[in-house]
Amino acid sequence: RSHLHAAGHICVLKDVFRYESPTEIANLTSADKFDAALAIHLYKGGRLLQGSRIPFGIIFGGTDINEDIKYEEKRRIMGEVLREARFAVAFTMKMKELAAAEWVYTWKKIYVQTQGIKTTPSETFDWCRFLQNADIPTDRDNLHVFLLICGLRRVKDPLYLVDVFSDWHRKDPSVHLGIIGPAVDPLFTNEVKEKVKRAPGIHLLQEMPQDDLHAAMKRCFAVVNSSISEGMSAAILEAMDLDIPVLARNIPGNAAIIKHKDTGLLFSDPQEFVVLSKSLMNDPIMEREIVKRAKDYVKKHHSWECERKAYQTLVLRLQ
């Protein structure tokens, strides 16, 4: 939104979960006299713009191309949305290729633009209070806090590492895993809460403002991603920018931005996660080298300024 505001556009954010049909969105755009729309997620957002009275563009989310495409009805709807869209944005060339393989006519209208990253850690963040609120002991010198940042929904699989991490914590009380993010799926959130209650060393934390979250990331030992599917994880890129090592599940979306043992660590199962975490803890030279290369990678490939220029140019296609 800030990119579009900076170009002089008025941009209003709407949550797709509050709307059920294209008719509701058509009434909204007509009543408020919107000139154009930009939907995030080809299925969840795009389906609401079918038959739209105003021009629109699409930003792929990741689960749309990686998961929703497997279902015939969703695939049909997404194809129709793409036919109507002025343009679409994919975070990676691989994502563009997957979409264009399914809908050949879309190749020329899909643009590849990586996520731009800008971190703003709060200078007044209280790490000790953060630990106390999470029930993590503050009297240990060798504390290793891992943060898993995600919306609480099944595709993010926040419970994937819970059992093995809890076993590890029993043997080494210095390690703690904090799961932090919004309760996107209320039923699944209750499932997570019940599981975490019975898992020593695992802490479910309240969602927090981005500046504080960046500050917490900066103080943790590593950032973790255990998703089943990802488009491009902003949390991973933000950790890289903040000089924090990343351990991520070895899935296409993560492997697209992490080179194993070069800019981060990729694990294929929970046991490998623990092995790699221990190697990172025991090898500070490797940790420093990974962090440095990751920072350089983000600077080179995920420029916030380049992203701003790209979206300011693309939105002109909606005139």
What domains does the chain contain, in order, with CATH numbers? 1-116+303-318 (3.40.50.2000), 127-301 (3.40.50.2000)
Angle between helices 270-282 and 162-171 (to 10 degrees): 40
What is the tens place of the pLDDT at every residue in 26-79? 998 888 889 999 999 999 999 999 989 899 999 999 889 988 999 999 999 999
C-alpha to C-alpha distance for 298 and 17, rounded to whole angstroms: 32
Which CA distances in Å does 25 have to 14, 195, 218?
10, 38, 40
Query: What pLDDT was estimated at residue 161?
Result: 98
For the chain, which ranges sit under pLDDT 70? none
C-alpha to C-alpha distance for 101 and 59, rounded to whole angstroms: 17
CA 288 from chain centre, in angstroms, equals 24
Query: What pLDDT was estimated at residue 49?
Result: 95
Query: What pLDDT was estimated at residue 98?
Result: 93
Query: What pLDDT was estimated at residue 304?
Result: 92
Reduced to 3 states (helix: H, G, I; strand: E, B; else coil), residue 11 is coil
C-alpha to C-alpha distance for 172 and 174, rounded to whole angstroms: 5
The amino acid at residue 223 is V
pTM: 0.85
> Beta-carbon neighbour count of residue 206 at 10 Å?
10
Query: What pLDDT was estimated at residue 127?
Result: 95
**Which among 169, 157, 172, 155 has a CA at the least distance from the CA of 198?**
169
Query: What pLDDT was estimated at residue 138?
Result: 85
Query: What pLDDT was estimated at residue 174?
Result: 95
Per the listing, tokens 């920072």 go with: 295
Reduced to 3 states (helix: H, G, I; strand: E, B; else coil), residue 253 is helix
> What is the dihedral angle through the alpha carbons of 200, 201, 202, 204, rounded to the nearest 10 degrees?
100
Close Cβ partners of 251 (under 8 Å, ≥ 6 residues apart): 227, 228, 229, 230
Query: What pLDDT was estimated at residue 1?
Result: 83
Query: What pLDDT was estimated at residue 32?
Result: 84
